[in-house]
Chains A and B, each alone.
Chain A
Amino acid sequence: MIQRIKNIYAYRDMIYSLVRRELRGRYKGSVLGFLWTYINPLCQVIIYSAVFSVIFKVNIEKFYLYLIIGMMPWTFFSSSVQGGSTCIRAQADMVKKIYFPREVIPIAYVTSTFVNMLLSFIIVFLAVLVSGFGFNVQTLLYLPLIMVVEYLLALGLAFIVSSITVYFRDLEQIVGVIMMAWIYITPIMYNMEYIPEQYRQLIVLNPMTPIVEVYHQILYYRMIPTTNYLLLACGASLLVFVIGFFVFTKLDKNFAEEL
């Protein structure tokens, strides 16, 4: 276990260069290039806010802000898990041909989407400024914490789905379906008050709920995140991360043969 972590650390430069490769390679050759990092989620937010505030008449003040704050972390999470499910298969050539700690691939992938999220937070901050809500500097200190917590959750799930997909390719499609449903059980397009009382406990079982709620608390409600959400987020993420890591170590021995 410790040996493995040491080994991964020894390959930190590989992670770094894979992240770089991922980020630079993603939009290489497209005209707008890196701008797509912004355009994509922006369009998504515009569409959703149009639909939800005009048609469904969601009663949330500055709905676009509420939406954008939840949407950016969600995009990071869902693309980490979804892309994570294929990331090892996508690097099959490398896995079959050279040795390196296999954890490097999901770590690099999730990190690259994480960097994307960090960059997209520029939009979030702009939106906060435009809305005139302003910042509560004290609560902003919790922002890095919740980001790290979300990173652990995403990485843990990426470990699980990436290693299982090697053996069971259907998972890739299944993950797609799950992610499609998952966004609706997370308070991104609505807030907790919309959920009937009797289901509220259930929705908290979803580890993304406390995480997105903490983002909302920090940036939308401008309050210190509530302890129960923080604890819930940390606990769930750590648990998923540890499980993910062990699943991965169990499954990575035969990657080269299965691919």
Chain B
Amino acid sequence: MKDLQSIDKNEIAIEVKDVKKKFRSYQDKATSFKERFVNPSRGKHQDVMVLKGISFQVARGEAVGIIGKNGCGKSTTLKLLTGILSPNEGSINMKGRVSSLIELGAGFHPDMTGRENIYTNASIFGITRKEVDKRLSDIIRFSELEEFIDNPVRTYSSGMYMRLAFAVAINVDADILLIDEILAVGDSSFQKKCFEKLKEIKANGTTIVIVSHSMDQMYKICDRLIWLENGHIKDEGIPRIIGEEYLHQMENGRIDRIEEENRQIKDELENKLANEEKAEDSEEVSVLKKRQKELEYNETLKDVCKYYQPGARRGGTGEAKYCSVILENEHGNETNIIHTGEKCRVRLGYKADHKLENIRFSLGITREDGIYAYGSCKEFREAIASQGEIILSFTNALLSGKYVLDLWLETFDGQALDSIHSLMLICVETESDDEKGFCTMGRNWTLVQKQEDCNE
């Protein structure tokens, strides 16, 4: 255990200054002299700048998460921190013993027993046998491999293998711990244990740098997030703020890409139709037409809702339609991420050919896994204007998860004027983690203590 008193939060544990890293990417690398000689073009390469000058500092005892989409340089940064790679420019200064959970189990020898491999693997982190002796029982207990520890590692399942590797790496007592996407180790109970251990390590004053795609984990562990994009630090700061901004951008990027794909498919269909129409109306043509209609519907949905899902389906007569759907958080900003307990509004703009009467607006929320979570409707017997906006205000009781929104607009006799399925994806986030399920129930725990008999 480290002496907690001695931890000075202002002390810099990691200092990264103007680090640049480029990789050579060979199209087809010549590895031998002959190849280089016979075919000089194989030596051609391009330099790819992965990190274009990043600087940051991590204070002792701080936990920092690095986020960014694939290929943005997250893992490269981590590898630079461990010293596996060295920067082309700039400097990296690490204070203290570094342990990394980057490639678990590298250096395991399949023919040696689990116990022997613990020693070997720990020595890779620069730990002496004496120190391992002290921690051996901790490591074995943590790995839950007591019965198998004297069997050769090659007889282990991959889960057991990872558990052993994780147990070694996390019991190293490092000053700095670097983690790359690790909490996918073993079954869920082991994952939970790893996570708890990680929190404990953090509480003991170890500096932590994590790369992960799981925002939930990042929020729980990190004090700060660094967002990398195209080799630069795009933003850094409080995890929730940075994280949400990042998720938003990712979501938009995804939608843009799918839209682009849809557009291509549509163009293709149109070409095909133009060719086919000369021939007689085949079954194929009708299928193509149907597909084209669907795509058109999707395109109109884009105008309805900023966060529309490309997979959304629309139906109904079209006599009356929803023309805008906006989910607002308590600050009145449009979003698709809301929190448990937040006061939100859904603003539904509608438009019809004529005045509407005997009409029902309804809305449903379904969790990603298909559980119908909530539904509500509003009926109007009297005639209402042909255009307008109907607003649903509510306090969000849903717990964290992903939900989809469905909307209907129907007459009392059950005719659907407009129906939209899976219009948008709503991400719900929950601050506290003492509730599970899909909605909060305004819980209130009370403890009544029995007076114990005391003689004194």
Contact = CB atoms under 8 A, between A and B. Distances in A.
Whether A associates with B in a native complex is yes
B295 to A, nearest CB: 45
A21 B112 contact: yes
A17 to B, nearest CB: 4
A10 B126 contact: yes
Contact of A28 (B23, B34, B100, B111): B111
A18 B122 CA distance: 12
Interface stretch (A97-105, A134-142, A192-200, A203-211): A97-105
Interface in B63-109: 79, 82-86, 98, 100, 102-103, 106-107, 109
Number of chain B interface residues as a range = 20 to 34
Contacts of B120: 14, 17-18, 20-21
B124 interface: yes
Contact of B84 (A11, A96, A169): A96
Interface string A90-115: 00011111111000000000000000
Interface string A76-102: 000000000000000001111111100
A94 B106 contact: yes
Interface in B93-140: 98, 100, 102-103, 106-107, 109, 111-112, 119-120, 122-124, 126-129
A97 B103 contact: yes
Interface in A166-207: 168-170
A18 B31 CA distance: 28
A99 B128 CA distance: 16
Contacts of A97: 84, 102-103, 106
B24 interface: yes
Contacts of B128: 12-13
Interface in A1-48: 10-14, 16-18, 20-21, 24-25, 28-29
B106 A14 contact: no
Contacts, number: 73
Interface residues of A, number: 29
B23 A16 contact: no
A16 to B, nearest CB: 7
B445 interface: no
A170 B127 CA distance: 36
Contact of A169 (B31, B107, B126): B31
Contacts of B23: 257
Given A24-B112, A98-B103, A99-B82, A170 B34 contact: yes
A250 interface: no
A111 to B, nearest CB: 14
Contact of A256 (B79, B119, B129): B79
Nearest to B178: A99
A120 to B, nearest CB: 24
Contact of A93 (B86, B100, B106): B106
Contacts of A24: 111-112
B10 interface: no
Contacts of A18: 120
Given A17-B119, A17-B123, A169-B31, A253 B98 contact: no
Contacts of B106: 93-94, 97-98
A97 B120 CA distance: 15
Contacts of B82: 98-99
Contact of B102 (A98, A169, A257): A98
A14 B85 contact: no
Given A11-B126, A14-B123, A256 B109 contact: no
Contacts of A170: 32-34
Contact of A257 (B85, B98, B111, B126): B85
Contacts of B129: 13, 16
A253 B103 CA distance: 19
Contacts of A100: 124, 126
A99 B107 contact: no
Given A11-B123, A13-B127, A21 B109 contact: yes
Nearest to A93: B106
A169 B32 contact: yes
A11 B121 CA distance: 12
Nearest to B152: A28
Contacts of A10: 126
B126 A168 contact: no
Nearest to B110: A25
A231 B328 CA distance: 86
A216 to B, nearest CB: 38
Interface in B177-231: none
Given A13-B123, A93-B106, A99-B100, 19 more contacts: A11-B123, A11-B126, A13-B119, A13-B127, A14-B124, A14-B126, A17-B123, A20-B120, A21-B109, A21-B112, A24-B112, A25-B111, A29-B111, A94-B106, A94-B107, A95-B84, A99-B84, A253-B86, A254-B86
